[in-house]
Structure 1
Amino acid sequence: MDYTAYRHTLAETLACSELPFSADEYEARLGKVRAAMQRQGFEALLLTDPADINYLTGYHTFEVSVHACLVCTAQRLVLQVASIETGAAVVSARADEILGYRWENPDEVIGPLCDLLAPCARVGIDGWHASLRQGVMAALTARLGAGRFQEAGALLDEIRLVKSDAELACLRESARITSAGLEAAMAVIRPGVTDNEVAAEGARALLAAGSEFMSLQPIVTSAERISVIHVNHKRRAIAAGDPVFLEFGAAYQRYTAPMMRTAIAGQASHEMQAVADLCRELYEALCRHMLPGETFDAAARAAEAVLSGWQETLFHSGVFGYAVGAQFPPSWVEGSGYIASGQARSFEAGMVFHLPLCLRLPGHWGIGLSDTVMVTERGGVALTDNDWRLRELPA
């Protein structure tokens, strides 16, 4: 049986059997996207970000390293996936047509796409996303001309930023699972235990509580390694007095609500506690400014004012929040909005951000505490349940 026969046979019994949301939810999303396309003069969108494809169709797979795309026009949604992915497309995607290409022969990608896009004078692409392959675009522009392809990454970003009730329910469930994983991981922290052992216990709890494959695996570091951004567990034993940093994010229907906590294998120093208190101050300032109509820039500047006395001592990334939602590896960052200086967009009710408040003393340690927060008329309201304490654990 070839992949085309496989797809059609599978569809007889399992078509859309793993669709995450109702048809009405997808129709509402598609209506917003098509209205935006019409306003901006696009006859088609060529979407390659796995999260954008998931948003409009439900399509999900753990294999996101191969080419996949969605062509969206005013009349049709056509999903193109590798032959090995047609099964996942049948069970999880709501599309008018599924096109396969042989996994081992990516040249088969271009012809069907040219046929779909040739009648469209203006095609929107997300040129800044890594999923848009240079080889695909080079072949398309060679055949169809470069002039018809225009940047449109912001079109989906602006729509995805504001979450529906169904999406918020998924984020709340992710928050519940994330908390269970963190609690289990923190319970095993003590001198002599390795960061791998802590991560392993957290991962076990996350999966047991219902997480799907995660966009980022559990992050656990200790002592001076906390001061280095984006390193992870590496068989390091925890020593007495070490801070231990944890950042977890469970996936539920691909939605992730991350959270950071920090524990001390013993007693916290006065300086560590002062930095933890500073994280809490930053969080409260941000939440006060996460009001509909207020800008991302204003919230970031309020946080910078809190941080001002420490800027020569502690490192912070400069991004006080980033939008989260449905995502795939290698990141749970949605990429649709950032709370940072110079970001002129305004908050709207229903936006959801992770506030990654990790402050690092380079070469020594770091303290990280965070919540995933929803914008409401009252300001930012946490979906996760951080207690904002620096946990001191028996040494």
Structure 2
Amino acid sequence: MNHHDYRAMLQNTLAGSECPFPESEFQRRHVALSEAMRAESLDALLLTDPSDIYYLTGYNTFEVAVHTALVFTPQRQVLQVPSIETGPAVACTRVDEILDYRWEGVEEVLLPLAEVLADCGSRIGIDRWHGSLRFGVMSDLLERLPGHRFVDAGPLMDRVRIVKSAAELDCLTESARITGLGIEAAAAAVRPGITDSEIAAVGARAMHEAGSEFMSMQPIVTTGRRISIIHTNHQRHRIAEGDPVFLEFGSSWKRYTAPMMRTVVAGRPAEKMQAVFAICQRLYATLLDTMRPGQRFDDAARAGEQVLAPVAAEAFFSGVFGYTVGAQFPPSWVEGSGFIARGQMQRFEVGMVFHLPLCLRLPGQWGIGCSDTVRVTEQGAEPITANPWQLSGIE
């Protein structure tokens, strides 16, 4: 059976059976995006980011390394996938048309895609900065469609996605619950002699047993001076007496992730560790208070910088006090539609959701990190995750 016949048979039996949300939720998203497109005089969008495609159609797969594209107009959605993705395209979505090409036949991508775009109008929005938009696809489309103008529409998608609906908040709340179970299990496993990899395995198992799907990022566990190197991960390192152990987990529920950080010490926390942790606590409280509707992201960042000032020369901080989260796929749970950082002039709105990755790293020594995922309310930000905000030690 070839992939065309396979698609036809699936459409007769399982079409839309794995769609993650009711039609009303997708219709809300389509209306919001269509209005944003009209405001920017866009005729169509060519989307290749797996999370954008999921957001608009429900298309869900663990294979995000292949070319996949969605042509979106207010009247029509056309999804292009390789033959190995025919199943998810049929079962997870209710799009108007599916274009499938042979997995090994990438030369089959361009003609049908160009033909669809040719009928959509001349102003096509793309996300110029996303790595899923392949140079070969874009350069060939420019040759085949000389009368079309391709416009950067990444910011447009960000504006539509950044405020979460009730259905999305439900998903983030469930992810937060599962993330908490994983981080609690991992924290309880910390002791001298165990490896960082074993702790990661304990946390991953707890999250999967509680219902997490495949995660956008695997559990992050580092210990001792390796914490001071940003973005290292578990690597079979054995934990010594007195080592801090840094945990950062994020389960996935309908692709939505609410991450959390926690640090546990395999022994009694040193006085300096307690002092650094206290700065993280003050920073967190400051951000919750300043993340109010109408305030700029820059305002919250500057307030955070004042808290960090006493250790600014000693401890490394990434400069990003928060980033938006939502529905994502590997390799990252960062949605990227907004960053709480200096110079970011966007304003907070009720329903925005941020992870606040508050980790201070003393180069060559260790690091202390603690975080919650929070949502913006009328009164400020409130946590979705349930971090105890304690620098726990193991006696």
Contact 1:245 1:260 in 2 (8 A): yes
2:160: which partner in 1?
159
Structure 2 gap ranges (5+): none
2:88 corresponds to 1:88: yes
Contact 1:59 1:94 in 2 (8 A): no
Structure 1 gap ranges (5+): none
Secondary structure in 2 matching 1:170: helix
2:266: which partner in 1?
265
Write the distance in 2 (CA, Å) between the matches of 1:138 and 1:13. Answer: 38
Offset of residue 146 of structure 1:
7.7
Mapping of residues 60-75 of structure 1, within 5 Å: 60-75=60-75
Write the distance in 1 (CA, Å) between the matches of 2:57 and 2:342. Answer: 34
1:127: which partner in 2?
128
**Percent identical across equivalent pairs?**
60
1:102: which partner in 2?
102
Write the distance in 2 (CA, Å) between the matches of 1:241 and 1:73. Answer: 58
2:363: which partner in 1?
362
1:59: which partner in 2?
59
Amino acid in structure 2 at the alignment position of 1:78: V
1:321: which partner in 2?
322
2:219: which partner in 1?
218
Q: TM-score, normalised by structure 1?
A: 0.99
Write the distance in 2 (CA, Å) between the matches of 1:74 and 1:166. Answer: 22
Amino acid in structure 2 at the alignment position of 1:271: K
Write the distance in 2 (CA, Å) between the matches of 1:22 and 1:164. Answer: 13
Contact 1:319 1:338 in 2 (8 A): yes
2:143: which partner in 1?
142
1:17: which partner in 2?
17
2:339: which partner in 1?
338
Secondary structure in 2 matching 1:334: strand
Amino acid in structure 2 at the alignment position of 1:230: H
Write the distance in 2 (CA, Å) between the matches of 1:362 and 1:94. Answer: 51
Offset of residue 94 of structure 1:
2.1
Amino acid in structure 1 at the alignment position of 2:189: V
Secondary structure in 2 matching 1:350: coil
Write the distance in 1 (CA, Å) between the matches of 2:295 and 2:51. Answer: 27
Contact 2:30 2:74 in 1 (8 A): no
Contact 2:122 2:147 in 1 (8 A): no
Q: Give CA deviations for 1:97-150 in whole Å, capped at 9, x if unaligned.
A: 111011001111101111111132100000000010011001101111285111
Mapping of residues 136-285 of structure 1, within 5 Å: 136-145=137-146, 148-285=149-286
Which 4+ stretches in 1 moved above 2 angstroms?
Answer: none
Amino acid in structure 1 at the alignment position of 2:156: L
RMSD of Structure 2 on Structure 1 (CA): 0.8
Write the distance in 2 (CA, Å) between the matches of 1:363 and 1:13. Answer: 58
Contact 2:375 2:384 in 1 (8 A): yes
Write the distance in 2 (CA, Å) between the matches of 1:146 and 1:189. Answer: 61
2:40: which partner in 1?
40
Offset of residue 74 of structure 1:
2.3
Contact 1:374 1:380 in 2 (8 A): yes
Write the distance in 2 (CA, Å) between the matches of 1:301 and 1:247. Answer: 25
Q: TM-score, normalised by structure 2?
A: 0.99
Offset of residue 93 of structure 1:
1.3
Q: Give CA deviations for 1:212-239 in whole Å, capped at 9, x if unaligned.
A: 0000000000000000111100000000
Write the distance in 1 (CA, Å) between the matches of 2:277 and 2:13. Answer: 54
2:390 corresponds to 1:389: yes
